[in-house]
Amino acid sequence: MKRHGQNFLLDDNLLAAIVRDAEVVPGEVVLEIGPGPGLLTRHLLAAGAEVRAVEIDPAMEAVAEQLVEPALREGGRLTWIHADALDGPRRLGPGLRAALPGTRALVANLPYHVAAPLLACLMSEEAAPERQVVMIQKEFADRLTAAPGGRDYGPLAVLAAVTSRARTLRRVPARAFWPVPKVQSAVLRLDRRPGRPASAEVRELETFLGLAFHARRKTLLNSVAEASGRSAGEVQSVLELQENEQKKRAETFEPLQLHALARTWADYAPDERLRP
């Protein structure tokens, strides 16, 4: 369990609250990543959901078989998928990718070490569930919901703002878990924006954000120049920043401003990619 970064939420009231937060309705296909022994799974099934549970540890399925009552598992509403959610740090695992089509919600107590790369990957995934309610490390939730100008504001906050509506629903103390983690947790909800950018455009944004936030202490102009190996003059000729914007750091730009700059940069350097 520890090797997979799993901390199991034991509080039954909190588990039920998470399912309510996700507004799960009977017959809905719900994806759960890292179900462990099925503690949250039981509540999802009780709400009438059809659950696709993706778990890397094969021993957990046997435990879940004991904890999830047969009455809740009847009708084939629980599909257990033994797979790694990620294939390296920047790609979804094939087992998870195959489970995505048809899912309406992601509801999960995510293992801490996969939460950041997993949610980032889902932001550029066309088949990702339209709403995601996840238990994650509070520090990561703060980074995802940060506003421009703050120290937590960065690429993840921009990606989340452009693709979704992100909000922290509740904080969860460490004592609610076993083993007890050394960090605080939070329940985060992400709702996909109607008309969100296509996957290729989100990846272009991610590429540009890697350049813009490459050197946070420098202006966006100089950071992009340094990271791309181009002169500041060349970058300025492409981005056409206003005089006052030339002196601003990336962390002071609004998400939509950065998105517009990313599209301009992608037209100039269409073959550059920071992610495989």
Single pTM value for the model: 0.91
For the chain, give the percent of residues with pLDDT over 90: 83
Q: What is the DSSP string of the chain?
A: -GGGT--EE--HHHHHHHHHHTT--TT-EEEEE--TTTHHHHHHHHTT-EEEEEES-THHHHHHHHHS-HHHHGGG-EEEEE--SBSSTTSB-HHHHHH-TT--EEEEE--HHHHHHHHHHHHT-TTS-SEEEEEEEHHHHHHHSPPTTSTT-SHHHHHHHHHEEEEEEEEE-GGGEESPPSS-EEEEEEEEPTTPPPHHHHHHHHHHHHHHTSSTTS-HHHHHHHHHT--HHHHHHHH---TTGGG--GGGS-HHHHHHHHHHHHHHSTT--S--
Phi–psi pair at 95, nearest 5 degrees: -65, -40
Q: Alpha-carbon distance 70 to 251, whole Å? A: 51
What was the pLDDT predicted at 234? 96
The class of domain 2-192 in CATH terms is alpha beta
Please answer whether residues 50 and 23 qualify as being in contact, where contact means their C-beta atoms are separated by less than 8 angstroms: no
Under CATH, what is the fold of the domain 199-268?
A: Helicase, Ruva Protein; domain 3 (1.10.8)
Q: Alpha-carbon distance 255 to 138, whole Å? A: 22
Q: Alpha-carbon distance 102 to 8, whole Å? A: 27
Give residue 85's pLDDT band: very low, low, confident or very high (50, 70, 90). very high
Give residue 2's pLDDT band: very low, low, confident or very high (50, 70, 90). very low
Domains in the chain: boundaries:
2-192, 199-268
Instruction: List pLDDT tens digits, range 193-252.
Output: 998 999 999 999 999 999 999 999 999 999 999 999 999 999 999 999 999 999 999 999
Average pLDDT of the chain is 93
Q: Alpha-carbon distance 137 to 103, whole Å? A: 24
